[in-house]
Amino acid sequence: MSSIDSEQEPVTMIAALVSLSGKIAPIAAIAVFMAPIPTIRQISATRSVGSMPLLPYSSMIANGFLWFVYGALLEEQAVIIPNTFGMLLGAIYFAVFRQHCPKLASNLPGSLHNHIQAIAMIIGTTMLIYFILPTKSAADLIGKAGVTICMIMFASPLVALKAVLDTKSAKSIPLPFTLACLLNCALWSIFGLFEMKDFNIYFPNLVGFACGLAQLALKLIYGDGPAVLPK
């Protein structure tokens, strides 16, 4: 093997990894959106949301809608398709959570009404931007909003951090969602950075990967032990 071939081999491997990431990333994104299904089934079975936050599901609706519109502006099917699933599944999760959530709950964080207002405001504002601004300006603004909401969605299980530390139990952190987020964020970070070269794609996923590692660490340290508050 010549020295030129030796130098080209790592480059070829990286290119293959980027290409593979681009093919798997949309599937991984759908897997992320499906990951809460066991948690939602548990909520339905027990008819209780316990200390779980609503934020992962309300942010999933807003996040899915923003990225659906962003993908439509860029005419990028890899962004449109998974986020259509995310938006619809988020709405289903939200409905189930709402059905079994105490009406006066205020630790979701905030109240149920606050979440509904926030979702309506984000959808309404996004539609105004889509119809009023030129395509490039609209994509830039909606992309930046998507970055913010995406990071909130990935970090949302950490809302329960105080409860985890107080109870010495990480039961409120959904493991399927955390593992799916880690894989998804790794793939989109690679694809967004090296292929799409789109800050709006790779940056929130790098942050999401870091949040996923933090959640996994809490899960490994505390597990699903009995959530007994210290006396």
**Cα-flanking dihedrals φ and ψ of residue 211, to 5°?**
-65, -40
Q: How far is CA 16 from the centre of its chain?
A: 26
The per-residue pLDDT for 70 is 93
Spell out the residues 6+ positions from residue 37 whose beta carbon is closer than 8 angstroms to its own.
176
The per-residue pLDDT for 122 is 93
Beta-bridged to residue 88, according to DSSP, are none
The per-residue pLDDT for 11 is 64
Beta-bridged to residue 110, according to DSSP, are 107
The per-residue pLDDT for 108 is 67
* Share of the chain residues as helix, strand and coil, in percent rounded to the nearest 5: 80, 0, 20
| Alpha carbon distance 67, 126 (integer Å) | 10
Q: Which residues of 66-84 are buried (b: 16+ CB within 10 A; e: fewer)?
A: bbbbbbbbbeeebbbbbbb
Query: How many Cβ atoms sit within 10 Å of the Cβ of residue 165?
Result: 12
H or E element that contains 215 = helix 199-222
- Classify the phi-psi angles of 133: left when phi > 0, otherwise alpha if psi is within -120 to 50, otherwise beta: beta
**Spans of the chain, pLDDT less than 50:** 1, 3-4, 228-231
Q: How far are the Cα atoms of 29, 77, 164, 202, 220 from residue 70, in angstroms, in the given order?
A: 16, 11, 35, 14, 36
The per-residue pLDDT for 176 is 77
Tokens of 202: 């790779």
* DSSP code for 158: G
The per-residue pLDDT for 142 is 94
Amino acid code (one letter) for 40 = I
Length of the chain: 231
In whole angstroms, how large is the CA radius of gyration of the chain? Answer: 19
Q: Is the dihedral of CA 88, 67, 110, 174 positive or negative?
A: positive
| Alpha carbon distance 198, 78 (integer Å) | 13
The per-residue pLDDT for 1 is 47
The per-residue pLDDT for 15 is 80
| Alpha carbon distance 17, 189 (integer Å) | 12
